[in-house]
């Protein structure tokens, strides 16, 4: 394989910055001490009593589904391939297929599954590049697509080789592992790119609706009084839909 990883350090740093905003200034450990939490509760409670603070929260993961829904047909293809792998494994357990045939067919299905996953990512990149809401990072996304091209070519080569059965399991597993690693890197970069827009959408909604603070519900919010802390997830989703 000519390139086993995506060497986009600059782009990774740029996009990761947006994802970090989703932690809303939580410490790296993902939590705060009991005394810090109680102090924060006291301060927020005081500000609420004064009517000086409007707080909202968003379920970032729910908002993120705007992007996955945009490529739902491609995602379904990957899901179908995953189901075929499970069915094949069941056939092997039930001894309705020989080990040799099982291993050969499994290589083909695994290659088809990973190829389908890459297809989802390519479709997502194309969707983002074409969307006005991503115009500010269109150049970086275009560079990412070009950077991923050799990896996609290698995926197609492995798929073709596995289908005609001219590769042994050791070589297949090695090449597959490299491609799977590259896929995970690409996936993380796209998640970070989408996360930037989730944050931007939440900020826009907050400004339009007059909220002072927007929290990410995951790992932050244990309880919210609906009378004083508003769920703006649907508004954020609606805003994100205008980006695509």
Query: 99: buried, middle or exposed (CB in 10 Å: 19+, 13-18, 0-12)?
Result: exposed
What are residue 229's DSSP bridge partners?
Answer: 55
Compute the mean pLDDT over every residue in the chain, rounded to the nearest whole number: 84
Taking CA atoms, 17 is separated from 24, 64, 194, 216, in Å, by 12, 17, 12, 16
Q: Residues 75-110: pLDDT tens digits?
A: 999 999 999 999 999 999 999 999 999 999 999 999
Beta strands, E only, the chain: 55-58, 213-216, 229-231
Question: Can you give the pTM of this predicted structure?
Answer: 0.79
- Predicted confidence at residue 222, as pLDDT, reads 65
Q: Where along the chain do its domains lie? A: 45-243
Per-residue confidence band for 42, with pLDDT thresholds at 50, 70 and 90:
low
Relative to beta strand 55-58, strand 229-231 is parallel
Q: Residues 114-167: pLDDT tens digits?
A: 999 999 999 999 999 999 999 999 999 999 999 999 999 999 999 999 999 889
Mean pLDDT of 162-190: 94
CB distance 107 to 161 below 8 Å: no
Q: What distance in Å separates the CA atoms of residue 161 and residue 102, rounded to the nearest whole number?
A: 16
Which of 56-60, 136-140, 194-198, 217-221 has the lowest average pLDDT?
Answer: 217-221
Supply 181's token pair: 């690693």
């Amino acid at each position: 394989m000519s390139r086993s990883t995506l060497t986009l350090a600059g782009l990774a740093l740029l996009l990761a910055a947006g994802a970090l905003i989703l932690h809303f200034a939580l410490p790296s450990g993902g939590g705060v001490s009991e005394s810090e939490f109680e102090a924060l509760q006291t301060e927020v409670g005081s500000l609420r009593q004064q009517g000086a603070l409007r707080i909202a929260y968003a379920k970032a993961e729910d908002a993120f589904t705007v992007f996955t829904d945009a490529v739902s047909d491609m995602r379904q293809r990957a899901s179908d391939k995953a189901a075929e792998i499970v069915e094949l494994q069941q056939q092997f357990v039930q001894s309705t297929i020989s080990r040799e045939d099982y291993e050969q067919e499994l290589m083909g299905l695994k290659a088809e599954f990973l190829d389908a996953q890459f297809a989802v990512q390519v479709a997502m990149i194309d969707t983002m590049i074409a969307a006005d809401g991503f115009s500010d990072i269109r150049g970086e996304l275009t560079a990412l697509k070009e950077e991923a091209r050799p990896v996609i070519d290698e995926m197609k080569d492995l798929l073709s080789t596995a289908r005609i059965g001219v590769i042994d399991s050791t070589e297949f597993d090695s090449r597959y592992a490299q491609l799977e690693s590259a896929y995970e890197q690409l996936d993380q970069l796209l998640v970070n790119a989408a996360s930037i827009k989730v944050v931007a959408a939440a900020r826009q909604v907050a400004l339009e609706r007059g909220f002072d603070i927007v929290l990410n519900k995951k790992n932050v919010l244990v309880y919210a009084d609906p009378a004083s802390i508003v769920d703006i997830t649907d508004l954020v989703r609606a805003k994100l839909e205008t980006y695509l």
